């Protein structure tokens, strides 16, 4: 079935995108207003865009036709922290997604411990397995109420359990027990299993074809269990 986006209602367009582009990583954003009041909120229209320079993007919608507190804070301060969400922190993350009034401290409501940033004046969530300190590179006003944010990652706090080799920067992502966003209402998934599928060289691919074995890769299916086994969680 084909869907012409222009023919759909705003709600239909949103539901279609939310339910098909999955799983989406969750940016648990901490930010501050001009007076220093802390705001914490999760957003799943988020991803990294480049490794070098390290860049991420984030799109923040509106609340009753007005920019959300996080967007206003980022526009005003030019910096923020993206904290990733582990499975044990899912409930606290959900509390921070409640539509509180602007004066409510979400971190306090969710019982979060906040620690100061190293290169930004915004605190990070202490229990997050990975927190990325960010500075705004570019802001794009999409329609007056939605803001697209492109930011430089200037520093990263990572839990020790995830670091396999600090010199070569080998990271074990499954040890962070991260969760991803699926669809509404309130569906998520846990990154709990991994598999390895190296990309063959052109020569290896031609060798498979010459042996009549290309279907081994074309019809590949994910192993039923992770090859790396259970790993310690952060």
Residue 85 is predicted with a pLDDT of 98
| Residues above pLDDT 90, as percent of the chain | 79
Q: Which two tokens stand for residue 117?
A: 């940033």
The SS3 call for residue 20 is: helix
pLDDT grade for 229, boundaries at 50, 70 and 90: very low
Q: What is the pLDDT of residues 81-92, one digit of tens each?
A: 999 999 999 999
pLDDT grade for 220, boundaries at 50, 70 and 90: confident
- pLDDT tops 50 at residue 228: no
| pLDDT averaged over every residue in the chain | 91
Residue 223 is predicted with a pLDDT of 67
Average pLDDT estimate for 160-176: 93
Residue 232 is predicted with a pLDDT of 39
| Residues above pLDDT 70, as percent of the chain | 95
- Start-end of H helices in the chain: 10-20, 69-77, 90-96, 106-109, 202-210, 215-218
Residue 224 is predicted with a pLDDT of 64
Rounded-to-integer distance, Cα 144 and Cα 136, Å: 18
- pLDDT tops 90 at residue 234: no
Rounded-to-integer distance, Cα 9 and Cα 88, Å: 36
Closest CA to 84 of 151, 48, 129: 129
Q: What is the pLDDT of residues 104-149, one digit of tens each?
A: 999 999 999 999 999 999 999 999 999 999 999 999 999 888 999 9
Contact 194, 228 (CB under 8 A): yes
pTM of the shown model: 0.90
Q: Which long-range contacts (CB under 8 A, 24 or more apart) does 175-178 make?
A: 175/129, 175/231, 175/232, 175/233, 175/234, 176/84, 176/86, 176/129, 176/130, 176/233, 176/234, 177/86, 177/87, 177/88, 177/129, 177/233, 177/234, 178/25, 178/84, 178/85, 178/86, 178/87, 178/129
Torsion angle of C-alpha atoms 32, 38, 44, 46, degrees rounded to 10: 30
Q: What is the pLDDT of residues 41-68, one digit of tens each?
A: 999 999 999 999 999 999 998 877 778 8
Average pLDDT estimate for 189-211: 91
Residue 170 is predicted with a pLDDT of 94
């Amino acid at each position: 079935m084909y869907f012409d986006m222009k023919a759909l209602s705003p709600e239909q367009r949103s539901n279609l995108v939310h339910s098909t582009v999955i799983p989406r990583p969750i940016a648990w954003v901490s930010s501050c207003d001009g007076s220093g009041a802390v705001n914490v909120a999760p957003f799943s229209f988020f991803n990294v865009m480049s490794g070098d320079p390290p860049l991420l993007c984030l799109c923040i919608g509106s609340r009753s036709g007005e920019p959300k507190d996080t967007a206003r804070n980022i526009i005003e301060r030019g910096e923020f922290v993206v904290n990733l969400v582990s499975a044990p922190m899912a409930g606290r993350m959900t509390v921070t997604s409640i539509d509180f009034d602007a004066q409510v401290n979400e971190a306090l409501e969710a019982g979060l411990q906040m620690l100061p940033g190293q290169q930004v004046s915004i605190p990070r969530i202490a229990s997050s397995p990975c927190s990325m300190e960010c500075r705004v590179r570019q802001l794009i006003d999409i329609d007056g109420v939605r803001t697209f944010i492109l930011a430089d990652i200037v520093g990263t706090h990572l839990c020790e359990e995830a670091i396999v080799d600090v010199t070569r920067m080998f990271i074990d992502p499954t040890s962070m027990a991260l969760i991803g966003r699926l669809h509404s209402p309130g569906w998520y998934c846990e990154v709990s299993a991994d598999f390895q599928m190296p990309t063959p060289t052109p020569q290896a691919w031609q060798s498979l074809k010459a042996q009549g074995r290309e279907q081994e890769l074309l019809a590949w299916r994910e192993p039923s269990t992770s090859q790396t086994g259970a790993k310690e969680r952060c």
